[in-house]
Amino acid sequence: MIDIHLHFDGSLPLQLVQRHAKLQQLPYADLPEDELRDRIVCPIDCESLNDFLARFAIPLEILQTYDSLRESVEAVLDILKSQGILYAELRFAPQHHTQKGLTQEKAVLAALEGLHNGLADGRMKAQLILCAMRGDGNDDANFETLNLAAKYLHQGVCAFDLAGAEALFPTEHYRELFAHATELGVPFTIHAGEAAGPESIRAALSFGAKRIGHGVHAIEDPALVEDLKEKQTILECCVISNVQSKAVKCVEEHPVKYFLEQGLKVTLNTDNMTISQTSMAKEVAYVRDHLGLTREQEMQLYLNAVDGAFLDEKSKEELRNAVTKAF
């Protein structure tokens, strides 16, 4: 019903990828759909994190034009509406879409236009989260992304994020970036505890993060689990992609149900609908089948997502009532 951790570049319908590949005359434009699927969709028994990350290459290559970005947001929203999603936060990194002449701001404006068009029928609500990226030599680009998040805050953009190679580029390196986010009054979430350990989550918390993307490695530090419980920090878990990316060794070791039982504010999300061939319904079924999720715990996941959503209190109350009614 609610998805607050969804990368739209990893959630594109294959037909849209094919169409824009042909419009842009890209080398794989004439690939049969099943072969294209094999290059984008990641199997549940994915061999490595590198194999998982390689699945983004084609989607990112086509998302270099204003029209492809706009139409992609619209298409992802159409998919979410067909699944009965009430509210979603779609995230992307504008700096990834500047390879063919777009500026970061043009990329944001394209996504915002797609958001406006996709929500015009009133069937759901959604907002955008702008991601900075871990890496070398992109500090200026990251600060530009943050400034754009501030500029378009409450105009379709709801927050700022940090994504990328967590194990190679520690969260602690981005303290100045998030200090500036706080100065600007931009809410933020941070990918942490996915490919690195508890120290990454602790760094994010010290920046003032009220939400953590993934956070599965908190399980390794009981004191941190207690801290997350006390602070009621929102954890954005994505079980299927965590299994694929080797954030956890197997689904049976995923801590989502344990976190719930310990009273943490854990949520369940899709991460990348196309790459992981998932949906909110599939995520819930997967956790139910493998970890014994109960109906009451499913409801708690949704209510936790409402609490964590980057919305004002009135909008949260309306969403909470809609979730309760629909459930």
The answer to whether the CB of 90 falls within 8 A of the CB of 125 is no
Strand-pairing partners, residue 97, are: none
Which amino acid, one-letter code, is at 235?
L
Tokens of 31: 């690939």
Element (H, E) at 7: strand 2-7
Cα 318 to the chain's mean position, in Å?
23
Catalytic residue among 71, 144, 194, 236: 194
Rounded distance, CA 142 to CA 139, Å?
5
Other residues' Cβ atoms within 10 Å of the Cβ of residue 248: 20
Rounded distance, CA 103 to CA 145, Å?
11
Rounded distance, CA 185 to CA 53, Å?
32
Give Dmax over CA atoms of the chain in angstroms. Answer: 54
Q: Are strands 87-92 and 211-214 parallel, antiparallel or unpaired?
A: unpaired
Which amino acid, one-letter code, is at 181?
A
Between the alpha carbon of residue 149 and those of residues 92, 185, 265, 297, the distances in Å are: 12, 10, 25, 33
Which amino acid, one-letter code, is at 43?
P
- 136-161 burial code (b ≥16 CB/10 A, e <16): eebeebbebbbbbbbebbeebbbbbb
Place of tokens 């701001």: 105
Tokens of 247: 């954030």
- Please say if 176 is a catalytic residue: no
- 36-53 burial code (b ≥16 CB/10 A, e <16): beeebebeeebeebeebe
Report, as residue numbers or ranges, the catalytic residues: 194
